Structure 1
Amino acid sequence: MANSKFEYVKAFERDDRILPSTWIVVRIDGRGFHKFTERHGFTKPNDARALHLMNAVAMEVVKDLPDIVLSYGISDEYSFVLKRNTTLFERRESKIVTTIVSNFTANYIYMWPDYFPETKLQRPLPTFDGRAVPYPTTHILRDYMRWRQVDAHINNLYNTTFWALIQQGGMTAAEAEKELAHTLSADKNEILFSRFGINYNKEDEMYKKGSVIFREFEKGKEVDGGEDVPDERMTKSQLEKRKKAYKKSQIVVRFVDIMNDPFYDERPWILGTAKE
């Protein structure tokens, strides 16, 4: 860019680079999605079409940004975890967040007809907001993922019971809210089973656990070293091997437990092997 007397305005830009050597989580949420779901006739308590759309869109984001090592989605929310040593956009928060949010929003609108072929999008069009949070250790990052999956279970159990009381029990929304006030998980499970014959344990895993997106490798073709070996410390041949492995990897969505060790122990290329 040519220099000019007006270039001084760049001095007003804020340095928003995220702390180095930290995991970066970008969480996006749908704006005004309660009204959006009503306006577009989403099925309650869960609309499989809408959740599969969210998953397909998130997979496109992961495909576009290889530095994303793990994603987790529930309802109209998705969390994207960038590798700890990422240098994407020089770790500038504004560029990382706006890129992920705009990518997600554009793909959501573009892919909408694939999942809702008979429902035309109405204005206001769907939009998402986002924020980036740095987590200094793998332990804290995993606690973040646990928090989101616990929320998925709590919210889905409540919503499943709430809508059963309305749709099958004939209650109003106010009556259902009053019925569920101060109830525990065991109480909700009892209401579902005793009144409506619903065994919550047999509900769709996507609804109960949320959606987990990551790169899966052929057995024996994993990325050597995972996150334990930063790119700048790898030899040229190691970097080339990593690039080839990533190209051959398959981006998958699974509905699994990410609360405990097995998921990560079986896939050390996601977060590495460090237990800090």
Structure 2
Amino acid sequence: MANSKYEYVKAFEQPDVLLPNTWIVVRIDGRGFHKLTDRYAFKKPNDRRALDLMNAAAVEVMKDLPDLCIAYGVSDEYSFVFHPSCQLFERRNAKLVTTIVSTFTAHYIYQWGTHFPETPLESPYLPSFDGRAVVYPTARNLRDYMSWRQVDCHINNLYNTTFWTMVLQGGMSNTDAEQELKGTVSSDKNEILFKRFGINYNNEEEVYKKGSVLYRQVNSSLAGCNYQLEDAKAGSLESKAAADEESSSPMPDSKMSRSQQDKLKKLRRKAQVVVDHVDIIKDEFWERRPWILSGKPGTLPADA
């Protein structure tokens, strides 16, 4: 950039580098999605087309940004997680957030017609998202964050399923349904669904009850890339996490040799992005996929 008398304005820029060796979570949320869902007649309480669209956009974000190790989505929000070793954009807050938000929004709009072919987008009812970045110092903090979002998914979905069943099948007004559900607990809502409408909430689709979790998994055909893969046979999650957090720090990609970086990036880009609707609160998910927290490429054992 050529020097000029106006270059002094650069001094007004403030540094926004996120804390090193921490997990970075960028969470995006739909802006004004109540109006959007009404305009395009989203089905209540859940519209599978809308969730599939969210997941499709999130998959493309994961493909575009191989530094991401896991993501979790529910309704009109998605959380994208960078490993502590990530050095993308020198860990600058604004760059990470705006890249995630803009990339997600672009793919969401681009793929809209695939999922909603009968209702093309119209101005001013266009989807947009906002975002924020939060850092977490330990793997346990990250897991608690992910658990918080999945618990929120369950609570909100059970309420919405009961509410809209009472309205759409029970003929109640929105106000009356809301008033009856005030102060109820999960067992009360399950009882309303089963006794009044014959609905067993446990039989609802997992994507509605548990949300969507995205992660990378190396296909067996890529195992010959001369890079050590990590699988569920490598040891228990708790012992590995303790060792990682208490006795050593993750190795930033920038500290690796050029050949190591190239092999790692190649595996990350070629790894399959898996979309699951599973429990991420219990240990089983993480124990079977230790590479998510370790930051190493990994695959499930052939016998899994």
Report the TM-score, using the length of structure 2 for normalisation.
Answer: 0.85
Paired position in structure 2 for 1:97: 97
Paired position in structure 2 for 1:48: 48
Amino acid at match of 2:80: F
Paired position in structure 2 for 1:185: 186
Q: What stretches of structure 2 of length at least 5 have no aligned partner? A: 232-243, 245-249, 296-304
Paired position in structure 1 for 2:268: 246
SS in structure 2 opposite 1:80?
Answer: strand
Amino acid at match of 2:287: D
Aligned-residue Cα RMSD (Å) equals: 1.8
1:1-276 correspondence to structure 2 within 5 Å: 1-122=1-122, 123-218=124-219, 221=223, 224=229, 228-272=250-294
What does the per-residue CA deviation read over 1:218-263, in whole Å, with 9 as the maximum and x for residues that have no partner?
A: 3593864698544244445543442342243101111011101111
SS in structure 2 opposite 1:21?
Answer: coil
Shift of 1:120: 1.4
Contact 2:71 2:78 in 1 (8 A): yes
- Residues 106, 248 of structure 1: CA spacing in aligned structure 2 closer, same or farther, 3 A cutoff? closer
User: 226-235 vs 249-258, which deviates more?
Assistant: 226-235
Distance 1:189 1:223 in 2: 47
What does the per-residue CA deviation read over 1:25-65, in whole Å, with 9 as the maximum and x for residues that have no partner?
A: 00000001011101110000000000000000000011000
Distance 2:269 2:66 in 1: 10
SS in structure 1 opposite 2:111?
Answer: helix
Shift of 1:203: 0.2
What does the per-residue CA deviation read over 1:77-122, in whole Å, with 9 as the maximum and x for residues that have no partner?
A: 0000011111111111011111111111111111100000000112
Q: What stretches of structure 1 of length at least 5 have no aligned partner? A: none
What does the per-residue CA deviation read over 1:149-183, in whole Å, with 9 as the maximum and x for residues that have no partner?
A: 00000000000000000011110000000110100
Amino acid at match of 1:40: Y
Contact 1:189 1:200 in 2 (8 A): yes
Distance 1:70 1:238 in 2: 21
Seq. identity, %: 63
Distance 1:79 1:256 in 2: 16
Amino acid at match of 1:243: K
Shift of 1:124: 2.9
SS in structure 2 opposite 1:265?
Answer: helix
User: 74-83 vs 211-220, which deviates more?
Assistant: 211-220
Amino acid at match of 1:166: V
SS in structure 2 opposite 1:201?
Answer: helix
Amino acid at match of 1:272: S
Contact 1:224 1:242 in 2 (8 A): no
Distance 2:64 2:25 in 1: 16
Contact 2:85 2:251 in 1 (8 A): no
